[in-house]
A and B are shown apart, each in its own frame.
Chain A
Amino acid sequence: MTASKLIGALFAATILTAPAFAQGYPERQITMVVPFSAGGPTDTVARLVAERMSDDLGQQIVIQNVGGAGGTLGAAQVAKAEADGYTVLLHHIGMATSATLYRNLPYDTLNAFDYVGLVTEVPMVVTARADFEPADFLAFIDYVKANADSLTLANAGIGAASHLCGMLLMQALEAPLVTVPYKGTGPAMTDLLGGQVDIMCDQTTNTTQQIKAGTIKAYAVTTPERLDLFPDLPTAAESGLEAMQFGIWHGIYTPKGTAPEINQRLSESLQKALADDGVAKAMADLGTAPSSAADATPEALKAKLESEIARWKPVIEAAGVYAD
C-alpha cells in the first residue's frame, strides 16, 4: 500500500461511521470457494477474476476447490461460514438449478447468502458430430423433429450446463431424444468427436476450439444476439426457438449477514477486475465476456438468482430428473 493510499484510508476510517468490523476490510487473505474441481471452466473464471481482485483489495484471494454433488458441497460450506467477508463463493447457474434439482439441500438457497455481483455469462452453442447431415439450423430443427427417436443427445451429467441446454432444446423442439449422460465434458466431447453420439449443446469454453478446427459442427448460439466469435451462426431465437435463450452465468456470493459495506467493497473490486483488458482478453478467448459494471452488483445478482430459480423450476420438474 502506498503512503498516499494509507493516509487516505486512515482519513476515511476516522470520518466514516461504518460498523467497526467492516473498517479496514480486508485485513487478511480471503478464501474464494469454487465448488468444482481445479482446472475446470468455473475454476478458470474464478482464478482470472481473483487475481485482479487481489491486486485491488491489497490482500491475496486464495482459491479453495470444494468439489462434489453438483457444487452443493462448496455452497453449503460457504453458507455455514462466518459472515465476515473472508469466505466468498463463486458459483454458476447451478446455484439456481440445484435449488430444484436437489430436494434436500443443507441450505436455503435464497436465504443463506448475500450477494456481490455477476461475473460473466458464458454462451451456449448447439453442436453435432462433424458428419451430421443438416446444413444449417433450420434444417437441423426439421431433421431432429423428424428423427427424434433415432438421434442421441450427450450431456456432461445431471445438472451440467449441457444437461440444462439439452432439456431446453428437447422442450423447444418437442423432440424426446435419447439422452446419454457422461461424467464430465471431456468424455462427452470425445464421443462427439468420434461420432459415437449425435448432438450436444455446450458452453463456448468447451466447444470453440473444436468448432474452429471443424471437428464438430455448430448450428446455433443461445445468446440474444449473434456472437462476434461466430458471426455466421444464427441465434436459436431468430430461428424461432424463443425459449432457447440462456447462458451459464457466474456470480460471487458471501454468507448471509455479511456487512453491506463489505459486499459493496467486493463488488467495486469485481467491477475493476472485469474492466481489466487482460481479463476481457482471456474471457474473449473462451468465447465469453465480462459482465457489465451494472451487472457486477449485489442487486443484479440477487435479481438474477431469483428469476433463474423461478425459470428452471418448471423445466426441471417437467423433465422429472432430480440429482438426489
Chain B
Amino acid sequence: MDLLSNLALGFSVASSLENLLFCLIGVLLGTLIGVLPGIGATATIAMLLPITFQLEPVSSLIMLAGIYYGAQYGGSTTAILINMPGESSSAVTAIDGYQMARQGRAGTALATAALGSFFAGSVATFLVAIFAPPLTAIALKFGAAEYFSLMVMGLVMSVALAHGSVLKALAMVVLGLLLGMVGTDVYTGAPRFTMGMTQFADGLNFVAVAVGVFGIAEILRNLEDEHDRQVMTRNITRLFPTREEFRQMIGPVLRGTGVGSVLGILPGGGAILASFASYTVEKKLSKHPEEFGKGALAGVAGPESANNAGAQTSFIPLLTLGIPANPVMALMIGAMIIQGIVPGPNVVSEQPALFWGIIASMWIGNLMLVVLNLPLIGLWVKLLTVPYYVLFPIIMAMCSIGVYSVNSNPYDLFAVAFFGLLGYVMSKLRCEPAPLLLGFVLGPLLEENLRRAMILSRGDPTTFVTRPISAGLLVLSLAVLVLVFLPQIRKRRDEVFTESDA
C-alpha cells in the first residue's frame, strides 16, 4: 500500500540520528520560547533562519516545524501559570487553566494540556498523512462567503466564552471588533483609527494586545494584594491528574481533536477558531457549565487538544498548495526557498522524502514533547513560588523583548502599556478579556471576507445563503445562538412566574 511505504520512507528519514537531534533541538527551543512570555515562534524562527542555511533541507524544516508545535505546548504553560497567553489559541487555555492554578491545581492543568496536546497531535499527524490531498480540495471550496459565515459562527460562539454577564461579553466582543479595525483598509488603502501614526498602519500587534489585557493586567491586579498567590502554591497537593480526572478528560480531548483538525485545514485562518470553538462545544455539552471559567478541566483539555490538532493540520495547505496559513509557515517557506526547494503543489511528488520525513518527524516530535514536558511540570509549578519582586520584572522585560522583536516597532510597546491599563480597568469592571481578544482576531477577517464576498457577487447579499457551505454555517450559528440564549430566556420566564406567584 502506498501510504505504508510512504510512511516507512518518512520514518526512515525522520529517525536518522541527525534528524532526531534537530527534531529534539526544535521542540526544546519551541518549549523554551513558548514558556518565555511574549516571545513567539515567529520571532525565534526569524532569528534562526540564517542558521538553517547550513543544514540539509529536511533537517532544517524538521527543526523549524519542531519549534512551531513546541511553542504551542510551551505557550499553554505561561497561560496556565501566569495568565499570559502568547498566541490567540492559548488565550482560551488561560481562562480555566489559570483558575485551576489559583486553586492549586496547576500541575493537573499542565498535565492535562500536555496529554491532550499529545493525543491530538498524533491523531492530526495521521490525518495529514492520509487525507492531505483530498482535504486540500475541500479547503479550496472555501471562498470569501464561506469564510465570512465561519467567522460569524466564531463570533456567536465567543459569547459562550464569558462566564459572567452576556451583555458585558457582547460589549467586549464589540470593543475587540473595533480594535481590529485599526490599520489600513485593505480595499481602499485608507488608514483608519491610526491617529496619523504610520506605525499603526498595519493594525495593532496581537501579541501586544494579548500580553497587555491578560498578563500585564494580571500583574497589576496581583500587586494590589499578594494574598491570592500564597493560596496558589500552598494548596498544591499533587501534580498529576487522578483517575477520575483522566476519565473526565477523554471526551473533551476527542472532540477537541476533531474540531481542531477540521478547522486547521482551512488556509484562511480556520485554526485560530479551533480552541474557541472547542471551548464552546465543551461548555454546551458539560453537565456543569457553571464550572467553566472557575477551573473546569474540560475547559483546558478540549481547547488544548483542538489548538494542537489545528497546528498540525495547518501544515496541509503549506505542504500541498505551497501557501502559508500563518506567519510562521511563511517563514518556513522562506527557509525552503533559500534551500532551493520552492514549495508548491508538486512538493509531495517531487520531494517525497522531504514531505513524508516532515510528517513522520511531527509524530516523533510530539512524543518527545510529552516526554519532555511531563517531568518539567514539577519545575514549572515551583516557578510559582518565586517571589513577586523577582518574577514580575522578569516577565515584564521578557514581554517587552518579545513584543518588540516581532516588528522592531517601539509603538508596539506603547500598545502593551495601554492594553495593560485597559485590562486592569476591565477587570475592575468585571469584563473578561477573552471575548475581546476573539473579537480583535475575528474582526478584520469578518470585514475583509464580507466585503470581498460582496465584491465577488457584485453587491448581491444572497450569496451568503445560496452557497451551500456558507448557508450551512449560518444555520449552525443560528442554532448556537438559540442554544446560548434559550436557557436564559427560560430562566427569565421562571423568574417572572415566581414573582407573579408571590
A residues contacting B by CB (< 8 A) are: 37-40, 43-44, 47-48, 51, 63-69, 72-73, 76, 101, 106, 152, 157-159, 178, 180-183, 186-187, 189-191, 193-197, 205, 208-210, 212-213, 215, 281-282, 285-286, 321-324
Question: Which A residues are in CB contact (< 8 Å) with B50?
Answer: 47, 51, 63
Known: A73-B199, A215-B345. 16 other contacts (CB 8 A): A38-B49, A39-B46, A40-B330, A40-B334, A44-B334, A65-B408, A67-B407, A68-B199, A68-B407, A186-B325, A187-B267, A193-B321, A209-B343, A210-B322, A212-B346, A321-B189
With A73-B199, A190-B268, A212-B344 already in contact, the answer to whether A38 and B46 are too (CB < 8 A) is yes
**Interface size range on B against A:** 35 or more
Contact A182 B186 (CB under 8 A): yes
Contact B198 A72 (CB under 8 A): yes
Distance of A88 from chain B, by nearest CB (Å): 15
Contact B202 A66 (CB under 8 A): no
A324 CA / B189 CA spacing, docked (Å) = 6
Residue of A nearest to B409 (CB): A68
A195 CA / B186 CA spacing, docked (Å) = 21
Distance of B350 from chain A, by nearest CB (Å): 10
Question: Which B residues are in CB contact (< 8 Å) with A281?
Answer: 340
Query: A-B pairs with the 4 shortest C-beta distances?
Result: A209-B344, A39-B334, A194-B140, A39-B331
Distance of A228 from chain B, by nearest CB (Å): 16
With A178-B455, A186-B267, A282-B338 already in contact, the answer to whether A194 and B346 are too (CB < 8 A) is no
Distance of A90 from chain B, by nearest CB (Å): 14
Residue of A nearest to B330 (CB): A39
Instruction: Return the contact of A51 from the options B46, B53, B327 (Cβ within 8 A).
Output: B53
A69 CA / B199 CA spacing, docked (Å) = 8
A52 CA / B124 CA spacing, docked (Å) = 40
0/1 string, B365-405, CB within 8 A of A gives 1: 00000000000000000000000000000000000000000
Question: Which B residues are in CB contact (< 8 Å) with A323?
Answer: 184, 189
Summed over the interface, the residue pairs from A and B with CB atoms below 8 Å come to a total of 146
Most chain A CB within 10 A, of B337, B455, B456, is at: B337
Residue of A nearest to B453 (CB): A196
Q: Give the contact stretch, choosing among B141-149, B164-172, B488-496.
A: B141-149
User: Is B159 at the interface (CB under 8 A from chain A)?
Assistant: no
Question: Which A residues are in CB contact (< 8 Å) with B456?
Answer: 152, 178, 180, 196-197
User: Is B250 at the interface (CB under 8 A from chain A)?
Assistant: no
With A51-B50, A187-B267, A323-B189 already in contact, the answer to whether A180 and B455 are too (CB < 8 A) is yes
Contact A73 B198 (CB under 8 A): yes
Most chain A CB within 10 A, of B45, B142, B408, is at: B408
0/1 string, B27-61, CB within 8 A of A gives 1: 00000000000000010011001100100000000
Distance of A127 from chain B, by nearest CB (Å): 13
B residues contacting A by CB (< 8 A) are: 42, 45-46, 49-50, 53, 140-144, 184, 186-191, 198-199, 201-202, 267-268, 317, 321-325, 327, 330-335, 337-338, 340, 342-346, 407-409, 448, 452, 455-456, 458
Contact A39 B189 (CB under 8 A): no
Contact A208 B184 (CB under 8 A): no
A37 CA / B325 CA spacing, docked (Å) = 15
A104 CA / B331 CA spacing, docked (Å) = 31
Question: Which B residues are in CB contact (< 8 Å) with A181?
Answer: 186-187
Contact B323 A66 (CB under 8 A): no
Residue of A nearest to B198 (CB): A69
With A64-B408, A190-B321, A194-B140 already in contact, the answer to whether A183 and B186 are too (CB < 8 A) is yes
Contact B140 A190 (CB under 8 A): yes
11 contacts between A and B (CB under 8 A): A37-B327, A39-B334, A65-B46, A68-B198, A159-B189, A187-B267, A209-B322, A212-B346, A281-B340, A282-B337, A322-B189
Contact B142 A180 (CB under 8 A): no
A150 CA / B180 CA spacing, docked (Å) = 32
Question: Which B residues are in CB contact (< 8 Å) with A63?
Answer: 50
Question: Which B residues are in CB contact (< 8 Å) with A159?
Answer: 189
Contact B338 A190 (CB under 8 A): no
Instruction: Return the contact of B335 from the options A39, A65, A158 (Cβ within 8 A).
Output: A39
Question: Which A residues are in CB contact (< 8 Å) with B322?
Answer: 209-210
With A194-B140, A197-B456, A323-B189 already in contact, the answer to whether A286 and B342 are too (CB < 8 A) is yes
Instruction: Return the contact of A48 from the options B325, B330, B338, B455 (Cβ within 8 A).
Output: B338
Instruction: Return the contact of A210 from the options B187, B189, B324, B344 (Cβ within 8 A).
Output: B344
A69 CA / B411 CA spacing, docked (Å) = 14
Question: Which A residues are in CB contact (< 8 Å) with B338?
Answer: 44, 47-48, 282
A191 CA / B140 CA spacing, docked (Å) = 7
With A68-B409, A152-B456, A186-B324 already in contact, the answer to whether A208 and B342 are too (CB < 8 A) is yes
A76 CA / B197 CA spacing, docked (Å) = 13
Contact A190 B323 (CB under 8 A): yes
Question: Which B residues are in CB contact (< 8 Å) with A76?
Answer: 198
Distance of A109 from chain B, by nearest CB (Å): 15
Contact B201 A68 (CB under 8 A): yes
Contact B267 A190 (CB under 8 A): yes
Question: Which A residues are in CB contact (< 8 Å) with B407?
Answer: 65-68
Question: Which B residues are in CB contact (< 8 Å) with A324?
Answer: 189-191
Contact A285 B340 (CB under 8 A): yes
Question: Which A residues are in CB contact (< 8 Å) with B343?
Answer: 209
Distance of A84 from chain B, by nearest CB (Å): 19
Contact B143 A196 (CB under 8 A): yes
A65 CA / B405 CA spacing, docked (Å) = 9
Contact B344 A213 (CB under 8 A): yes
Instruction: Return the contact of B202 from the options A48, A69, A152, A282 (Cβ within 8 A).
Output: A69
A66 CA / B409 CA spacing, docked (Å) = 8
